[in-house]
Amino acid sequence: MALSEQARASERDRIAQMVLDLVKERGTEITHAGAINESGLTRGRFDQIFDDYDDLFDAVAQKWLHPHLLVMEEVLATHLPPQRKMYEFFARRFAISRERFREDPEFFTILCEMGAANMERVRSFVDLADHYQCELIAEAQAEGFFAGLEIDETLSLINQMVSDYTLPDALLYLGDRLSEQKLARIVDTIFIGLSGEAGSEAAGVNSLTLAN
């Protein structure tokens, strides 16, 4: 019997949550066979819900990252000044990750490992976050920030400068050395200092061949 779209979506959600609960309870990754077994479904029915393990992993990642998605959209809808908006864009996600890390460091570590081992699988999430961030950059550029830089270039530079606040693994080795206060200082530094029209002191002129 074919599943209705609604029943399929609801089962995907239920099983994704079940996998997260099992990872937390058992302290280890859950295999495809393990998930089928625990789902209470036949193999045939399970395969109607998830094409394969990658598809199951996607659903689990989406479930886990859903709160991040909500706060990004929340920030995008505000009318804050560009610095505040950029700060909130990173700070709210960081606060979610830190809360989860503090609540259950072991569970958080395993999810980091699952994510790190499957970076390409959460690519769609990373792409969406980048897309939203480009909107913030465009708004800031309209107010004169990041002059002389392409949006993609700005995106890459900002992502590199705040990566300790977006990569969950950083919490594992930096812990309390990460703070909202420092993140705010970094965002201010970016808004004051990042442009294509000022500053080429660092690279000098003689001793470097610049890569493109």
Which residue ranges make up the site for a copy of itself (CB under 8 A)? 80-81, 83-84, 86-87, 91, 119, 156-157, 160-161, 163-165, 170, 173-174, 177-194, 198-204, 208, 210-212
Cα separation, 177 vs 8, in Å, equals: 43
Using only C-alpha atoms, the chain has a radius of gyration, in whole angstroms, of 21
Nearer to a copy of itself, 15 or 162 (CB): 162
CB of 189 to a copy of itself, least distance (A): 4
The crossing angle, in degrees rounded to 10, of helices 82-103 and 123-142 is 150
Query: Distance from CA of residue 204 to its chain's centroid?
Result: 35
Query: Distance from CA of residue 180 to its chain's centroid?
Result: 17
Nearer to a copy of itself, 35 or 187 (CB): 187
3 state SS for 112-160 = HHHHHCCHHHHHHHHHHHHHHHHHHHHHHHHCCCCCCCCHHHHHHHHHH
The token pair at 145 is 């920030």
Phi, psi of 140 (to 5 degrees): -65, -40
Nearer to a copy of itself, 48 or 83 (CB): 83
CB of 2 to a copy of itself, least distance (A): 40
CB of 75 to a copy of itself, least distance (A): 12
CB of 114 to a copy of itself, least distance (A): 15
Nearer to a copy of itself, 41 or 184 (CB): 184
Nearer to a copy of itself, 62 or 83 (CB): 83
CB of 9 to a copy of itself, least distance (A): 31
The token pair at 33 is 């066979």
